[in-house]
Amino acid sequence: MTDPIVAKIEANPKYHELRRKRNTFGWLLTIIMMVVYYGYIALIAFDKSFLAQPIGAGVTSLGIPIGMGVIIFTIVITGIYVRRANGEYDRLTAEILKEASK
């Protein structure tokens, strides 16, 4: 038993466009995040001396700001995705639902 509204939505070309755009963008951000995160982990594993370099005359090492950069980068790309989802993806979703309810 298939709901007729669901069938209309699945047949709508805008629905396929939405899925394609959302999946492509999601995978792109996922790959970028994995490169950043695993790059940092690789630095920890293979180049401890680089991360252990002190910054100036203090006790803080280079690894601390780089680690904070990874965290900030995560927040930034989450914001980028949310902004796009609340704009383009929500607009497409509203158009799809409007056309399906006719």
C-alpha 94/C-alpha 15 separation (Å) is 10
- Two tokens, residue 64: 């601390």
The residues facing 61 across adjacent strands are 54
Residue 2 CB-density burial (10 A; 0-12 exposed, 13-18 middle, 19+ buried): exposed
pTM for this structure?
0.82
The pLDDT tens digits of the residues spanning 18-39 come to 999 999 999 999 999 999 999 9
Q: Which residues make beta-bridge pairs with 54? A: 61
Domain residue ranges in the chain: 4-100
49-90: pLDDT as tens digits: 999 999 988 889 999 999 999 999 999 999 999 999 999 999
